[in-house]
């Protein structure tokens, strides 16, 4: 097996090493990781945070990123509103999105997790409650978790990936990485 790096991707960072063709430079992996020949295994949207695996092993990259391998990915998701049992049941059954139905997800309501402060902070509205979910998916479509929670009536406010397969984020702080031995 090749090199495996676990990285806590901060909010606002692209899951790539370069950002060409945009008028303003945006933060990329190269702002945090200076390890040659490693590439992200999958991606995490710019406005999502948490675990990103980088590797120089193409087969491992494919195993993590390809939906056919069904690698579970675990997210802590802050949603707008008080998520109810019916909506969580819909996530568990699979949700129909504009690009077709999702696989059933593992989903449950959780207490607010202990996380680092986000910069910028999540918008707060006194008149609208929020709640936290743990969602485990085995796919990885573009913005899938966000689209799933919106489809059941609870837009995502904050999304943090904490696990991919057997690898966990652990105590890595945003912008920090470690190599798995």
- How many beta carbons lie within 10 A of that of residue 35, not counting itself? 13
Separation CA 36–CA 105 (nearest Å): 35
Separation CA 62–CA 65 (nearest Å): 5
What contacts 142, CB < 8 A, 6 or more positions away?
none
Annotated active-site residue in 45, 47, 56, 84 = 45
| pLDDT of 173 | 97
| pLDDT of 181 | 81
Rg value, the chain, Cα: 16
Work out whether the CA dihedral 131, 171, 65, 15 comes out positive or negative.
positive
**Region for residue 20 given its phi and psi (left: phi exceeds 0; alpha: psi -120 to 50; beta: otherwise):** beta
Separation CA 65–CA 144 (nearest Å): 13
Q: What's 112's DSSP letter?
A: P
The pLDDT tens digits along the chain (181 residues) read 689 999 999 999 999 998 877 788 899 999 999 999 999 998 899 999 999 999 999 999 988 888 888 899 999 999 999 999 999 999 999 999 999 999 999 999 999 999 999 988 888 777 788 999 999 999 988 899 999 999 999 999 999 999 999 999 999 999 999 999 8
| pLDDT of 120 | 87
| pLDDT of 24 | 84
Which neighbouring-strand residues pair with 156? 79
| pLDDT of 31 | 94
| pLDDT of 67 | 80
b/e per residue 50-62 (b: at least 16 CB within 10 A): bbbbbbbbeebbe
| pLDDT of 25 | 84
Q: Is residue 45 among the annotated active site residues?
A: yes
| pLDDT of 23 | 82
Q: Give which of 43, 62, 53, 60 is closest to 141, Cα–Cα.
A: 43
């Amino acid at each position: 097996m090749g090199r495996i790096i676990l990285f806590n991707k901060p909010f606002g960072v692209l899951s790539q090493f370069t950002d060409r063709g945009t008028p303003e430079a945006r933060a990329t992996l190269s702002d945090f990781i200076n390890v040659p020949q490693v590439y992200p295994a999958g991606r995490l949207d710019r406005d999502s945070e948490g675990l990103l695996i980088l590797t120089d092993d193409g087969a491992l990259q494919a195993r993590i990123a390809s939906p056919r391998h069904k690698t579970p990915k675990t997210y802590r998701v802050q949603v707008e509103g008080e998520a109810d049992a019916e909506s969580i049941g819909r996530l568990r059954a699979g949700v129909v999105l504009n690009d077709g139905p999702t696989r059933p997800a593992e989903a449950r309501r959780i207490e607010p997790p202990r996380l680092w402060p986000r910069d910028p902070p999540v918008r707060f509205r006194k008149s609208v409650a929020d709640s936290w979910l743990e969602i485990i998916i085995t796919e990885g479509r573009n913005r899938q978790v966000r689209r799933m929670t919106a489809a059941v009536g609870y837009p995502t406010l904050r999304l943090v990936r904490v696990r991919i397969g057997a690898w966990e984020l652990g105590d890595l702080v945003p912008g920090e990485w470690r190599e798995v031995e």
